[in-house]
């Protein structure tokens, strides 16, 4: 284990800051006579991991002064019944944002369900319409995890304009929207994946390296340019505890800045969900264009 | 002027091949009792350049055995009236594909009009829904110019899987969808733009270089790795005739393969429009999933 040279980018600190900004803005909205933003989390069935995720989102929502409009649906519910619930939430003016917790039970068509959430209430930023808006550079709600990475980098004054950034992993949830958000920030972005020929070499030219490959410990010190900023989106339960896609102990001796796992990108995801819900509510209230 | 070493990738040859494939498939469809695919080009006003583009598309459509369902609307038409025409075409089973020629007159909202074209008939691949499908890796009709670049590379046996590709230009029409299509082909893609710090150096690492910057002669020999494949999407009317974004005379002495301007990517765009219209018609006829 080399000596740690990298400064830690603590996501819990940044996330706390975002949540506090949201809480302040919610308080201002309600003082001005607007209803508090409402987040409708939709959980189908009893998957324990999903229950934990949804509970954390609901708590964060309430803590920020928003209305928790949770809906728990039975695991054997039919496609049409879920669709009807989503349509009702879409039409309900109390609901600022709708989050359909994934995965849904296998007998349901998640894609068709997501497509029913109107872009204006898509606080997860994952519907086809939101993806289209991002791809075409139009305004819209952005996916929470990549938006959280941008915010974390901004909070640490990491320059992105003109910067060489490499993103590892081309998932629809993280890697692909990450490329688009970084390009919007004027970075020069390279997207790597499992078919990339010399991954270490492509990563080593990056001043900022964002890893969302879903492979524990994939990125070692040979893939990191000395002084680079390394953001680890991966999270894996291993026999040594929670680990990311980056070999933290060794990379921390090469990088200039690094996110820990846990406590890096993870907390930013829920914080950006709250920021999206606030944004949706403000647009719906006519407070934002 | 250096000696030309590069092999020319002739878009007129590839485009002719695509158009002939489409014509054969259209003939088979009609022999099997299906109606011929129908393309509805919608031209608003009397812009001479747009008239030329639309005429070329209509001719190509007829030459491939498809039905030319052109609609010419007056330049002072209102938003609601154009919307009504698009809705009528969307509902008309004779219409396989709808192409709204851009730009539309300034008093119209092009974005709102495009959004009325259903994804299944969006043969230009430019609506928000089509962009979302591409961004999320779902099936759909792809934008014609970047799809034409992929086809041209494939016709010349240019390997893309694991290949280092640099795309110059982040336009919604070409650069951004180009990155997504190349990523789908398993290339390792870097997207450059006006804010990229050392453009020549980033281009020089590419085995395949796709230039869609809209800047005449932007790419010179210093930006090209010896032996690389260079695709020039730019087209500009200059005092020396039509020129691309690539300094062809000098780059042809360094590159391994290069597209000419004119006669490179240009002819592929209309060919892919026909391929998209055929594809839309086959899906609508239940011949493709």
Q: What is the ipTM of this complex?
A: 0.95
- Residues of A with Cβ-Cβ distance to B189 under 8 angstroms: 190-191
The pLDDT of residue B212 is 98
The pLDDT of residue B4 is 74
The pLDDT of residue B69 is 98
User: In this complex, is the C-beta atom of B153 within 8 Å of any C-beta atom belonging to chain A?
Assistant: no
Nearest to B188 among A130, A186, A192 (CB): A192
Q: How many CB pairs under 8 A join A and B?
A: 104
Mean per-residue pLDDT of chain B: 97
User: In this complex, is the C-beta atom of B138 within 8 Å of any C-beta atom belonging to chain A?
Assistant: yes
Nearest to B181 by CA among B193, B202, B167: B167
CA atoms within 13 A on the CB side of B178: 30
Mean local confidence (pLDDT), B257-282: 98
Contact B191 A183 (CB under 8 A): yes
* Cβ-based neighbour number of residue B106 at 10 Å: 6
User: In this complex, is the C-beta atom of B135 within 8 Å of any C-beta atom belonging to chain A?
Assistant: yes
For residue B228, give every residue at least 6 positions away whose Cβ sits within 8 Å of its Cβ, in sequence order, or none. Answer: B206, B207, B208, B209, B254, B255, B256
Contact A180 B176 (CB under 8 A): yes
User: pLDDT tens digits, residue range B112-165?
Assistant: 999 999 999 999 999 999 999 999 999 999 999 999 999 999 999 999 999 999
Element (H, E) at B13: helix B11-31
Closest residue, chain A, to B196 (C-alpha): A162
Task: Flag whether A150 is marked binding.
Answer: no
Helix spans in B156-196 (H): 175-184
Mean per-residue pLDDT of chain A: 97
Residue of B102, B112, B189, B204 best to disrupt the A interface, most CBs of A under 10 A: B189
Q: Give the relative orientation of helices B175-184 and B128-135 as an angle to the nearest 10 degrees.
A: 40
Query: Can you say how many angstroms the Cα of residue A139 is from the centroid of all Cα atoms in its chain?
Result: 17
Instruction: Name beta bridge partners: B150.
Output: none
DSSP-derived letter for residue B145 is H
Scan residues 154-213 of B and list those with Cβ closer than 8 Å to A: 161-164, 170, 172, 176-177, 179-180, 183, 186, 188-193, 195-197, 202
* A4 catalytic residue (yes or no): no
Q: Which of B4, B32, B47, B124 is catalytic?
A: B124
Q: Which tokens belong to A190?
A: 């390279």
Residue of B135, B177, B201 best to disrupt the A interface, most CBs of A under 10 A: B135
Contact B186 A193 (CB under 8 A): yes
User: In this complex, is the C-beta atom of B240 within 8 Å of any C-beta atom belonging to chain A?
Assistant: no
- For the four alpha carbons of B180, B182, B188 and B193, in that order, the dihedral sign comes to negative
Q: What share of chain B is helix, strand, coil (3-state, %, to 5)?
A: 40, 15, 40
Mean local confidence (pLDDT), A15-29: 98
Contact B188 A179 (CB under 8 A): no
Alpha-carbon distance values, B166 to A65, A136, B208, B250 (Å): 47, 20, 7, 19
- Residues of B with Cβ-Cβ distance to A178 under 8 angstroms: none
* A124 catalytic residue (yes or no): yes
Residues contributing to the annotated binding site of B for NADP(+): 169-171, 235
- Residues of B with Cβ-Cβ distance to A131 under 8 angstroms: 131-132, 135-136
Residue of A125, A133, A135, A142 best to disrupt the B interface, most CBs of B under 10 A: A135
Nearest to A134 among B135, B162, B163 (CB): B135
Mean local confidence (pLDDT), B99-104: 96
The pLDDT of residue A2 is 56
Nearest to B202 among A176, A177, A188 (CB): A188
- For the four alpha carbons of B105, B108, B110 and B115, in that order, the dihedral sign comes to negative
- For the four alpha carbons of B66, B265, B258 and B243, in that order, the dihedral sign comes to positive
Closest residue, chain B, to A138 (C-alpha): B128
Q: Is the pLDDT of residue B106 over 80?
A: yes
* B121 catalytic residue (yes or no): no
Nearest to A162 among B164, B190, B195 (CB): B195
pLDDT band at A5; cut points 50, 70, 90: confident
Q: Which CATH class is domain A143-267?
A: alpha beta
Q: Which CATH architecture has domain A33-118?
A: 3-Layer(aba) Sandwich (3.40)
Q: Where are the domains of chain B?
A: 33-118, 143-267
Question: Dihedrals φ, ψ of A71, to 5°?
Answer: -130, 120
pLDDT band at B5; cut points 50, 70, 90: confident
Q: Is the pLDDT of residue A4 over 80?
A: no
Task: Flag whether A14 is marked binding.
Answer: no
Q: Which of A4, A32, A47, A57 is catalytic?
A: A57
Q: Is the pLDDT of residue A81 over 90?
A: yes
* Secondary structure of residue B90 in the 3-state scheme: helix
User: pLDDT tens digits, residue range B155-165?
Assistant: 999 999 999 99
For residue A106, give every residue at least 6 positions away whose Cβ sits within 8 Å of its Cβ, in sequence order, or none. Answer: none
Residue of B119, B120, B129, B136 best to disrupt the A interface, most CBs of A under 10 A: B136
Q: Quote the minimal CA–CA distance from A113 to chain B in Å.
A: 15
User: In this complex, is the C-beta atom of A227 within 8 Å of any C-beta atom belonging to chain B?
Assistant: no
User: pLDDT tens digits, residue range B25-70?
Assistant: 999 999 999 999 999 999 999 999 999 999 999 999 999 999 999 9
CA atoms within 13 A on the CB side of A6: 27
Identical fold for domains A33-118 and A143-267, yes or no, is yes
Mean local confidence (pLDDT), A207-230: 98
The pLDDT of residue B2 is 57
Mean local confidence (pLDDT), A162-190: 98
Scan residues 31-90 of B and list those with Cβ closer than 8 Å to A: none
Q: Is the pLDDT of residue A90 over 90?
A: yes
Q: Distance between CA B245 and CA B230 in Å, rounded?
A: 11
């Amino acid at each position: 284990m080399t000596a740690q040279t990298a400064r830690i980018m603590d996501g819990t600190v940044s996330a706390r800051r975002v949540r506090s900004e949201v809480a302040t803005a919610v308080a201002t909205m309600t003082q001005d006579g607007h209803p508090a933003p409402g987040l409708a989390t939709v959980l189908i069935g009893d998957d324990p991991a999903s229950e934990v995720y949804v509970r954390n989102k609901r708590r964060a929502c309430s803590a920020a002064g928003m209305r928790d409009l949770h809906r728990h649906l039975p695991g054997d519910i039919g496609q049409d019944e879920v669709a009807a619930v989503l349509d009702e939430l879409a039409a309900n003016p109390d609901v600022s944002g709708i989050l359909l917790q994934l995965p849904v039970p296998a007998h349901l068509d998640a894609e068709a369900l997501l497509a029913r959430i109107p872009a204006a209430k898509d606080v997860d930023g994952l519907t086809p319409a939101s993806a289209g808006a991002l791809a075409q550079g139009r305004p819209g709600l952005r996916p929470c995890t990549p938006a959280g990475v941008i915010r974390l980098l901004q909070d640490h004054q990491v320059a992105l304009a003109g910067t060489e950034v490499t993103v590892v992993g081309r998932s629809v949830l993280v890697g692909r929207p990450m490329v688009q958000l970084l390009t919007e920030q004027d970075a020069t972005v390279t997207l790597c994946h499992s078919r990339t020929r010399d991954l270490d070499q492509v990563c080593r030219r990056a001043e900022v390296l964002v890893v969302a490959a879903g492979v524990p410990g994939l990125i070692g010190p040979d893939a990191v340019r000395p002084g680079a900023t390394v953001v680890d989106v991966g999270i894996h339960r291993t026999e040594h505890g929670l680990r990311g896609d980056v070999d933290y102990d060794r990379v921390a001796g090469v990088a200039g800045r690094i996110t820990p796992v846990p406590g890096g990108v993870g907390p930013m995801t829920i914080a950006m969900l709250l920021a999206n819900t606030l944004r949706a509510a403000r647009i719906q209230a006519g407070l934002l264009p």
